Amino acid sequence: MMVKQGKVFLIGAGPGDPELFTLKGRRLLETAEVVIYDRLVNKKILAYVPADAELIYAGKESSNHALPQEEINQLLVDKAREGKRVMRLKGGDPFVFGRGGEEAQYIRENDCDFEIVPGITSAIAVPAYAGIPVTHRDDTSSVTLVTGHEKEGKETSSIDWEGIGAGHDTIVFLMGVENLPFICGQLMKYGRKPDTPIALIRWGTLPAQEVLIGELSNIEAKKQKAQFKPPAVIVVGEVVKQRQALQWFENKPLWGKKIVVTRARAQASVLVDKITDLGGEAIEFPSITIKPWENLSPLYKALKGIEHYNWILFTSVNAVDIFFEALKNQGIDIRDLKGIKIGAIGTVTSARIMARGLKVDVVPDEFVAESLVQALTGKINRGDWVLLPRARGARSILPEALKNIGASVNEVIIYEAIANRDVGQEVLASIESGQIDYITFTSSSTVSNFVNIIGWENVGLINRRSKIACIGPITARTAGEHGLKTDIQAERYTIDGLVEAILKTIRI
């Protein structure tokens, strides 16, 4: 019997922004059986790990190591010897002050296999997000990377203080905030002028990024006054002056804003991406989970006689996805929909249908049921058969209006939006403590389930501390029924319209 061979992958997770994680790193992480990860690895990157993989935290911070390095080394070997695919996930790049070289050496000495997957180092990416190029033709053509703290117990420093102090190149220190007085003192002792520009960049590439600018002679005092804490990257040199002209990350319109997204996790990505692209911090609070209806037999029955219908109306992307999945499961050819007209509420729902290769005949200007009724007036005739696959608990306006026209409506329940109880305590604490700027709602169900999760007793507190942004009048009305005061209502009932409405309040 062949014994399965294990392997260790030393993967750089990048500087913090999960979108700076490499494609290769993600592909490998999705095959992991064991993941040993560090403190600065973004939690969104860990979402790529298979649910059945073993997660082991090996984070380190000053005077507090979850696992000593020697134990980490042995753990990598032990897991590989079990025949596992082991991912050693490290912040930045594993070979730039990440002790990846030591780990790879130990793995090789113990006759195990390994592979290196480089990551974007914070030494380059973090200054870039702060608008500081580490090289610039007007300032310097070289950069030196230096550890901010050397190996404990070393009698002689391996840092050439005299060399880097006398030079003119950019110096980037990693993990050096706590040693800042010593670092500045050494640089001035060996030739750097006291007025040499220096930048401290905390939580670089993330919405929480902070930048502190000073000179070698005063940066420690500024750090103390600002209560500036690690982790941070330190940049020394004339290139720091470029930040004034090249600052970009903090210039985004939603910079510094914390915005809660209450959509179901499967649907949240579009809104989350738009908030992130505009510089805001999107905090996912999926108040609902979309669950296909347990009994889909009414839908299956309708599909068997689909040729009798004149119209199919879709009111959400959830209905589209579940409908076409059922179509496939029943072995029904999409060509059997030929001749049936299709209506949809919303451009996103319409686009999802068209992606299936079907034409959408009616999309109202306003994305609510009332507008769809108006758009269908004169198009649906008395005696027409209409299939309406939708959510449990949806408003009755649409089917009642169609019946008043004289249409025969088959309303089939194909999914429900249920309250999501799997919400992180950190997010709940942030909302309750007033750290959130905006809370967004994209449907009535997100409102009602949000209030059920957060508690009715906290509604008044939320009204005082955060702004409520609703996608349209129906959602805003539901918010009011639950005691929430709507501060922002989109003029266009779309995700883009919701974001535009939030931006408008910032520009005022």
Catalytic residue among 175, 223, 437, 487: 175
Catalytic residue among 7, 24, 60, 403: 60
CA distance 36 to 385: 58
CA distance 25 to 194: 42
CB 178 within 8 A of CB 230: yes
Handedness of CA 202, 204, 206, 212 (dihedral sign): positive
Handedness of CA 16, 22, 23, 25 (dihedral sign): negative
- 38 is known as an active-site residue: yes
Q: Which of 350, 302, 358, 308 is nearest to 327 (CA)?
A: 302
**Helix and strand numbers, DSSP H then E, in the chain:** 20, 22
CA distance 502 to 469: 7
CA distance 230 to 202: 7
Burial class (CB in 10 A: 0-12, 13-18, 19+), 250: middle
CA distance 471 to 206: 27
Kindly report the CA angle at 116 between 112 and 119, in degrees rounded to 5? 150
- 487 is known as an active-site residue: no
CA distance 411 to 416: 14
Phi-psi region of 24 (alpha: psi -120 to 50; beta: other; left: phi over 0): alpha
Q: Which of 194, 198, 191, 192 is nearest to 212 (CA)?
A: 198
Catalytic residue among 38, 384, 437, 487: 38
CB proximity list for 37: less than 8 A, separation 6 or greater: 13, 46, 55, 56, 57, 58, 59, 87, 89, 90
The amino acid sitting at 394 is: A
Q: How many CA atoms lie within 13 A of 118 on its CB side?
A: 4
- Other beta carbons less than 10 A from residue 38's beta carbon: 20
- 188 is known as an active-site residue: no
- DSSP state for residue 1 in the 8-state scheme: -
Instruction: Say how many residues make up the chain.
Output: 508
Residues 367-405 as b/e (b if ≥16 CB within 10 A, e otherwise) read bbbeebbebbeeebeeebbbbbbbbeebeeebbebbeeb
Kindly report the CA angle at 202 between 279 and 273, in degrees rounded to 5? 20
Q: Rg of the chain over CA atoms, in angstroms?
A: 28
Residues serving a catalytic function are 38, 60, 175
